[in-house]
């Protein structure tokens, strides 16, 4: 083990140390160390590219954060994800604060708007409103196409705490307005339901 460790140290010095160029270029040792010289060149180039990329991402993050664009993008992403869960219903988020390193999010003034309001003639423009929502989650699992790559079959949300909630429930025959948020339900056509309601109202008025 000691010999193997010594050989690894020597090879690392030969590959990475700048003074090893003369040793590698020696006519007698060139056939042996030429692959190592190529490897050192590749590693040096890859390290320089990685550092340039990290600097660029750092500057880009600082610029987006300073101008507020990053926060708007995160808010739009949260609204899009909520809409996907709720069968395409529109959601609006007043403000959002995200700690990516700890996997925490704090949302305020979250509103679930009433879908298909004109078709069903709902009275309320929204189904629910939440004052604050605190969420803890795994960041990688919540990014589309990234989570499955890292072995997350679904979005990994640990806790959800909702405060100051208002819910506006309406009913048309046997259909509640919040039923439209569930994509698994097979709901009747809105036109047929509203026509039956109007027919029943006309019958009651005639009596």
Per-residue pLDDT tens over the stretch 81-106: 899 989 999 999 999 998 888 889 99
Residue matched to tokens 């909630």: 165
Higher pLDDT, 181 or 69: 181
Beta strands in 1-42 (DSSP E): none
pLDDT > 90? residue 67: no
Per-residue pLDDT band for 33 (boundaries 50, 70, 90) equals low
Nearest to 107 by CA among 91, 123, 120, 122: 91
Per-residue pLDDT band for 123 (boundaries 50, 70, 90) equals very high
pLDDT > 50? residue 77: yes
Arithmetic mean of pLDDT over the chain: 81
Alpha-carbon distance of 26 to 101, in angstroms, equals 49
Q: Are strands 157-167 and 91-99 parallel, antiparallel or unpaired?
A: unpaired
Contact by Cβ (8 Å): 172, 200: no
Grouping H, G, I as helix, E, B as strand and the rest as coil, residue 107 is strand
pLDDT for the residue 151: 77
pLDDT > 60? residue 47: yes
pLDDT > 80? residue 43: no
Alpha-carbon distance of 119 to 179, in angstroms, equals 14
Alpha-carbon distance of 49 to 54, in angstroms, equals 9
Alpha-carbon distance of 96 to 109, in angstroms, equals 9
Can you read off the two tokens belonging to residue 181? 């948020």
Contact by Cβ (8 Å): 157, 131: no
Can you read off the two tokens belonging to residue 95? 């403000």
Grouping H, G, I as helix, E, B as strand and the rest as coil, residue 136 is strand
């Amino acid at each position: 083990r000691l010999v193997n460790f010594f050989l690894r140290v020597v090879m690392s010095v030969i590959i990475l140390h700048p003074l090893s160029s003369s040793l590698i270029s020696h006519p007698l040792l060139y056939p042996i160390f030429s692959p190592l010289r190529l490897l050192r060149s590749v590693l040096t180039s890859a390290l320089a590219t990685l550092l340039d990329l990290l600097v660029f991402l750092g500057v880009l993050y600082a610029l987006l954060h300073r101008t507020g664009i990053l926060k708007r993008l995160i808010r739009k992403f949260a609204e899009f994800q909520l809409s996907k869960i709720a069968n395409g219903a529109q959601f609006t988020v007043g403000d959002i604060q995200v700690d990516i390193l700890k996997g925490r999010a704090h949302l305020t003034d979250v509103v679930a708007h009433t879908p298909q309001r004109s078709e069903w003639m709902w009275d309320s423009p929204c189904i629910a409103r939440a004052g604050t929502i605190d969420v803890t989650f795994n960041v990688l699992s919540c990014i589309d196409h990234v989570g499955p790559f890292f072995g997350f079959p679904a979005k990994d949300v640990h806790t959800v705490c909702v405060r100051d909630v208002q819910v506006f429930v309406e009913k048309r025959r046997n259909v509640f307005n919040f039923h439209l948020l569930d994509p698994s339900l097979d709901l009747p056509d809105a036109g047929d339901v509203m026509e039956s309601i109007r027919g029943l109202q006309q019958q009651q008025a005639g009596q």
